[in-house]
Amino acid sequence: MLQVKNITFGYSKTKVLNAIDFNVKPGENLAIIGESGSGKSTLIKLIYGEYDLNEGQIFWKDEEILGPKYNLVVGYDFIKSVSQEFDLMPVTTVAENIGKFLSNFYPEEKQKRTKELIEVVELEAFANTKVKLLSGGQKQRVAIARALAKQPEILLLDEPFSHIDNFQKQGLRRNVFNYLKAKNIACIVATHDRKDVLGFADEIIVLDESKIIVKDTPQNLYKNPKLPLIASFFGEFNIIDPYGIVYAHQLQVVEESNLKATVRKSYFNGSVWLIEAIYNSEIIFIQHKAELPKDSEIHFSLVS
Ligand code: ADP
Ligand code: MG
C-alpha cells in the first residue's frame, strides 16, 4: 500500500501542500483533482521522490520514498511517472524507446512485451517510426508505454491524455486503465478533465487551498457535490434556492411553476441544448431538448 502520511511541502516558505494524508492500495486508481495551481503536479512529484518533504513521510509497502537529499538518483524501480515532459529518445524508434529498459537476455520476451505495450497505446502503425517524427499526442502515448514497460507497481500520471485528440482519447483511456487494473498496478492521476476520472477512478481527492477537502468515490461526489468546486468538475451547475447545488440536467422547463426565468441563449450540446437564462438576476443553466427563443419567459422545476 502507498501511504502518504501527513505531508507538508512548499517550494518556498509558502505551503503548497499542507497535512496531506491518504493511502492507495495495489491496483487502485486514485484521481487528484483541483483548480490550476492547487498542487496536483507537486503532489505527484513528491510521491515520485523529486523533492524533500518539509514534514511527513511517504511509504510504498515497507520502503520509505525519499527525496534528493537522501537519494543520489531520484526515483525507485517500483514507481514510474509520466509527466508533461516526455523525456524520450528522439532519434530512435517507438519500439526501441519502449523496449529500452527491458533485458536483452530474453529477446523473445522483450519483443512480446514491447508489442503488447504498443497495442495498449495503439501505435502499431508507428512501431518503427523515429520518435522525433511523431506528433505531441503520439509522443505522449510512447511515454505511457515506456513507463509501463518495466512493470511498475505504481504509475503516476500528470494530465496523461492532454495532448491526445478527442477522436482517440476515450479508447486510449480504456486501454491504459484496463491494462493497469489487469496487472494490479496502482495508479494516481492528476487531472482537470472529468473524462480521465469518470468510469475509471476508484476514489477522488479534491485539493483546495493546499489541503484535501474531500476524498470519496466518483459516484458519491457526483451525486452529492457539497461544494461548487466539486460540482464544476462534473458539469454545468447552478446554486438555486431552495435546492442548493443542482446540475443543469436536474432542471427542466415546465408549463407551470413558481420559478420563472428569461432565456438569454441556447447552446447546442449534441443530444441536448443547454439553455442559459436569467433567474433572480443570476445566470442559470437548464438542459432542454430544443432551442428556445431569446428573451422568452420560461418556467422551470427540478426533474422529478
Ligand atoms: P497544479 O498541478 O494543480 O496546477 P502545481 O503543483 O503545478 O499545481 O503548483 C502548485 C503551486 O506551486 C502553484 O502556486 C505554483 O505556482 C507553485 N509551483 C509549482 N512548481 C514550482 C516550482 N518549481 N517552483 C516554485 N513554485 C512552484
Ligand atoms: Mg499540474
Domains of the chain: total: 2
Q: The pTM is what?
A: 0.92
Minimum-distance ligand 1 atom for the alpha carbon of 34: 3
Interval 226-233 mean pLDDT: 94
Residue 230 lies in a domain: no
Residue 231 lies in a domain: no
Residues 133 and 251 in one domain: no
| CA-closest residue to ligand 1 atom 18 | 11
Residues 191 and 240 in one domain: no
Quick one: 16 exposed, middle or buried, by C-beta within 10 A (0-12, 13-18, 19+)? Answer: buried
| CA-closest residue to ligand 1 atom 24 | 11
Interval 19-27 mean pLDDT: 98
Q: What pLDDT, on a 0 to 100 scale, did the predictor assign at position 217?
A: 97
Q: What pLDDT, on a 0 to 100 scale, did the predictor assign at position 84?
A: 66
Residues 123 and 245 in one domain: no
Residues 242 and 205 in one domain: no
CATH number (domain holding residue 262): 2.40.50
Among candidate residues 169, 202, 223, the one where a domain is terminated: 223
Residues 208 and 63 in one domain: yes
Residues 104 and 12 in one domain: yes
Does residue 86 have a pLDDT over 80? Answer: no
- Going by their DSSP bridges, the two strands 251-254 and 244-247 should be labelled as unpaired
Q: What pLDDT, on a 0 to 100 scale, did the predictor assign at position 279?
A: 96
Ligand nearest to the CA of 40: 1
Residues 205 and 243 in one domain: no
Query: Cell for 126?
Result: 508507428
- The position carrying cell 487551498 is 209
Ligand nearest to the CA of 36: 1
- CB of 38 shorter than 6 A to ligand 1: yes
Does residue 249 have a pLDDT over 80? Answer: yes
3 state DSSP class of 261: strand
Mean residue pLDDT across the chain:
94
- Best of 16, 54, 81 for a ligand 1 pocket test (most atoms within 8 Å of beta carbon): 16
| CA-closest residue to ligand 1 atom 16 | 37
CB 282 within 8 A of CB 226: no
Which range among 31-35, 118-122, 240-244, 275-279 shows the weakest confidence by mean pLDDT?
Answer: 240-244
Interval 193-210 mean pLDDT: 96
| CA-closest residue to ligand 1 atom 1 | 37
Question: In this structure, which amino acid lies at residue 8?
Answer: T
CA–centroid distance, 40 to ligand 1, in Å, is 8
Question: In this structure, which amino acid lies at residue 42?
Answer: T
| CA-closest residue to ligand 1 atom 23 | 11
| CA-closest residue to ligand 1 atom 27 | 11
Query: Cell for 160?
Result: 496523461
Residues 258 and 280 in one domain: yes
- The position carrying cell 446540475 is 247
- CB of 36 shorter than 6 A to ligand 1: yes
Interval 39-57 mean pLDDT: 97
CA–centroid distance, 38 to ligand 1, in Å, is 8
Residues 98 and 134 in one domain: yes
- CB of 34 shorter than 6 A to ligand 1: yes
- CB of 138 shorter than 6 A to ligand 1: no
Q: What pLDDT, on a 0 to 100 scale, did the predictor assign at position 241?
A: 82
CA–centroid distance, 101 to ligand 1, in Å, is 30
DSSP H helical segments within the chain, as ranges? 40-48, 94-99, 107-120, 136-149, 166-182, 218-223, 228-234
Residue 190 lies in a domain: yes
Q: The domain containing residue 107 runs over which residues? A: 2-223
Quick one: 286 exposed, middle or buried, by C-beta within 10 A (0-12, 13-18, 19+)? Answer: buried
Which range among 61-75, 83-97, 112-126 shows the weakest confidence by mean pLDDT?
Answer: 83-97
Residues 74 and 137 in one domain: yes
Query: Cell for 240?
Result: 438555486
Q: What is the pLDDT of residues 123-141, one digit of tens each?
A: 999 999 999 999 989 999 9
Question: In this structure, which amino acid lies at residue 252?
Answer: Q
Does residue 19 have a pLDDT over 70? Answer: yes
Estimate to the nearest angstrom the gap between the alpha carbon of 272 and the chain centroid.
26
Q: What pLDDT, on a 0 to 100 scale, did the predictor assign at position 105?
A: 83
Q: What is the pLDDT of residues 138-187, one digit of tens each?
A: 999 999 999 999 899 999 999 999 888 888 889 999 999 999 999 999 99
- CB of 16 shorter than 6 A to ligand 1: yes
